[in-house]
Structure 1
Amino acid sequence: MDIILIALGLLCLIIGFLGSFLPALPGPPVSWLALLLLHFTDKVQYCTQFLVITAIVVLIVAVLDYYIPIYGTKKLGGTAYGQRGATVGLIVGLFLGPLGIILGPFVGAFIGELIHDNKDVKKAIRSGWGAFLGFIAGTVMKMAVCIVFAFYFIKDWLVSYF
């Protein structure tokens, strides 16, 4: 049974890492599932505190992943229109595949700023750029969490089984 749990855990790590930048897959939650699967083996037992803390990290990352593009828009001078546009762009981008996810917040913030003030194209571009940078920051954050979870999984698996 342990072999099946470990194999499923390794698969979850791979899917989780891919999910850090592919929109259809939830990266950190799937990587966390790998830790939970390893916990159910006979030789690796994580304490409840570790599992709860890592689950909280996953929830925080999931929330921040949607908030960071909006924050980036605001930080680079975007108005509420740009922030709402970045949100709408992110949601619409979810249905347009990987390119939509990447460009959605930028285009949404850009259009939102143009709706607010169609004469300030420079500000609209800056707002869109902030949304794009926020998206990249969120992706890096998700990848980092997945890498840390993979580290714990592999370290604890190797130490316990070999």
Structure 2
Amino acid sequence: MDILYWTVVITMFIIGFIGLIYPIIPSVLFIFAGFILYGFFYSFEPFHWLFWTIQILFVLLLFMADYVANIIGVKKYGGSKAGVWGSTIGLLVGPFVIPAFGIIIGPFVGAILAELLVHKRDLWTASKIGFGSVIGFISSVLTKSIIQIVMVGYFFFVIYK
């Protein structure tokens, strides 16, 4: 049964990391599901209050990293709230419209369309803002992947210490 239990826990972690690329997947929920399933399969004993406090702080950091990176990416290139919203919508829709490249093209096109439609920006300015949204997304994915690696690493540290 150990192999089955560990396969399920590790699968939850893998899905959590896939969620970095496909934001429609709530990655942090799958990471937490791995922790909880481990507790049900084996024991919750290693998960004391400090473990949960640290993991919750990491979750808050994940949400902040996602939000801040997107805003900084769009704002640095002159974008507005409309550009941030367009980028976010494009990020969610893009992977479904263009499966292979939608994760990059979606936020780019979303930010451009929002800036063109809402603020009547010229195409060049809107394109720079779209580029900023892609930079923000890539920065967010890198930051969140580091945080998730630390979360999972801390989990293994706690259960094997």
Asked if these proteins are the same fold (TM beyond 0.5), I'd say: yes
The percent of aligned pairs where both chains have the same amino acid is: 35
Structure 1 gap ranges (5+): none
TM-score (ref. length: structure 1): 0.76
Provide the residue aligned with 1:34 in structure 2. 34
CA distance in 1, matches of 2:144, 2:32: 12
**Cα distance 1:79–1:29, how it changes in 2: closer, same or farther (>3 A)?**
same
- Deviation larger for 2-11 or 99-108: 2-11
Provide the residue aligned with 1:68 in structure 2. 69
Alpha carbons 1:64, 1:138 under 8 Å: kept: yes
Alpha carbons 2:16, 2:28 under 8 Å: kept: yes
CA distance in 1, matches of 2:33, 2:142: 20
Residue 63 of structure 1 deviates from its aligned partner by 5.9
CA distance in 1, matches of 2:45, 2:13: 17
Alpha carbons 1:23, 1:98 under 8 Å: kept: no
CA RMSD of aligned residues (A): 2.9
Provide the residue aligned with 2:120 in structure 1. 117
Alpha carbons 2:79, 2:115 under 8 Å: kept: yes
Alpha carbons 2:90, 2:106 under 8 Å: kept: yes
Q: Is 2:58 the counterpart of 1:57?
A: yes
CA distance in 1, matches of 2:127, 2:112: 6
Query: Match for 1:14: what amino acid?
Result: I
TM-score (ref. length: structure 2): 0.76
Query: Match for 1:73: what amino acid?
Result: V
Residue 54 of structure 1 deviates from its aligned partner by 0.9
- Deviation larger for 56-65 or 101-110: 56-65
Number of aligned positions between the proteins: 158
